[in-house]
A and B are shown apart, each in its own frame.
Chain A
Amino acid sequence: MDAGLFAQYVMNGLMLGMMYALVAVGFTLFFGVLDIIKFSHGDVLMVGAFTALATYVGLHAAGMDSNWFNLVVMLVLATLAMALLGMVIARYLVMPLRSAPALNTLLITLMLGTVLRESVRLFYPQGANPKPFPALLPRSAIDIGEFNLRLDNVLMLCAGVLVIVGLQFLLNRTKLGLAIRAVAQDEETARIMGINFTAVVLITFAIGSGLAAFAGVMNGLYYNEINFGIGLYLGVIGFSAAIIGGLGSIYGAILGGFLFAGLQTVGTVMLPFASAYKDVFAFAVVIAIMAWRPTGLIREKISERV
């Protein structure tokens, strides 16, 4: 393969991987603090993307034409709105079910996902159709052989890296992060240490859902189109990525996200006659990985001692 074409595939894979990783991290965070799978996560991403789009429409109607300003307002508003939605879901849907079997939480969040999806389809103006998402980032590009390096992709990738580095900093270097990790390891002992368990859970859901909104905006900017179904698709992929990574390790989730994107890209390259099967290929490999390592690629190194 030509080096330029190869670079193009790598770049596309990195873009997808970044989005998947951001979604997978959310699944991992929620599973960490509450031991639950929240299946509405992907649809929160979709609502985030639509919130950003609605914000843009509003700003545009108000005569705001600065792309940068609009983008920042969209990002901030979508992220905050989804952080709030995440907290509301955690407080009124997930936490009350704590004493019930985990399967109930999975089911109820699955249903919530459907409600969110259908609400956007029915109530967003023309929500059943794909909506064009504005290209707000500079679209200049450099051609290196067959490799078309687009500035907007580079910017999104950098922003994604910054977000992940920021999350790492938050989790590993701040008191709040210490509390989240403590709760994830042992809820009751964390409470005995004086950690306000409910507050930590709500903040964790806010962070995870905010990340999903960020990924949703990124998705819109990348494809220049969003529809009410993207959440389901990205949710399943993000969940798979989190599972590959071992569900419980942030690094594992990030690795899983990029691995899944890598598989899709390999599928596209290897099956040029039928690149539509790239997802089939990627999910088949995920199934094979799960059969080989049922607990994910990142394994626990510590055994509990009495």
Chain B
Amino acid sequence: MASALKIEGVFTAYDKADVLQGVSLEVEDGRITCLLGSNGSGKTTLVRSILGLTPPRAGRIVFNGTDITQVPTHKIIAAGIACIPEGRKVFPKLTVEENLRVGAYQERSDKVASARLDEILQIFPRLAERRTQLAGTMSGGEQAMVSIGRGLMCAPKLLLIDEPSLGLSPRLVKENFDIIRSINERGITVLLVEQNVHQTLAISNYGFVLSKGRVAASGAPAELATRQEVRDAYFG
């Protein structure tokens, strides 16, 4: 299997302290790869590095054979990476439809964008009912749908999903994970960043565990579930 995303020896720092200390990992094409780790292990920093929001100070990030390490964010998105950010981050004062349309910002053709919008509204009929509602007035679960739909609007090759279960009820978490699985079945490669170990491993094909800015363990889900490093990463 080819890898869609290859991260080689990445160091990323805010100011002077390195948060990531030589992270290397690969995300296989067409699969769900998960990145586990406790709070402060560097998961979100890695996502920010991939997106170019906090570019690494050393190391390489290669997407589909192209080096994107120092590329500006909007060009990384144009290359086919999308993100469902931590905390959903819907635009509160844009309507549901406008939120979704922002997701297709890089799409030049209005026709294509509108066709995708219809597709998303079919997947989430609830959003179709609330097309003209301001996203900031919706419930957390509905905002999660907006955020997921928005991430799909640019028809990404690789989707980064940062902590989708954060702040959601167990029922909604399960729903969200089902949606992630179906997104992957549509052929989109997924990098799932999570704290929630068991549900995440249940839908992933491969996993990495991040601890204190380094990859502490990696392997197939069944293997990771029993590994001591995973427990250490969370409780150690």
Contact = CB atoms under 8 A, between A and B. Distances in A.
Interface of A: 175, 178-179, 181-182, 185-186, 188-197, 302-306
A189 to B, nearest CB: 4
A194 B106 contact: yes
Given A194-B106, A302-B137, A181 B74 contact: no
Contact of B91 (A185, A196, A305): A185
Given A190-B102, A193-B150, A194-B74, A304 B83 contact: no
A185 B92 contact: yes
Contact of A192 (B73, B101, B167): B73
B93 A188 contact: no
Interface in B89-105: 89, 91-94, 98, 101-103, 105
A280 to B, nearest CB: 36
Interface of B: 51, 53, 72-74, 77-78, 83, 85, 87, 89, 91-94, 98, 101-103, 105-106, 134, 136-137, 139-140, 143, 150, 154, 167
Given A195-B105, A302-B93, A189 B72 contact: no
A125 B99 CA distance: 52
A196 B92 contact: no
Contact of A182 (B83, B102, B106): B102
A303 B136 CA distance: 7
A171 to B, nearest CB: 12
7 contacts: A178-B94, A178-B101, A192-B83, A193-B105, A196-B74, A302-B134, A303-B136
B91 A306 contact: no
Contacts of B73: 191-192, 194, 197
A304 B53 CA distance: 23
A185 B102 CA distance: 12
Nearest to B90: A189
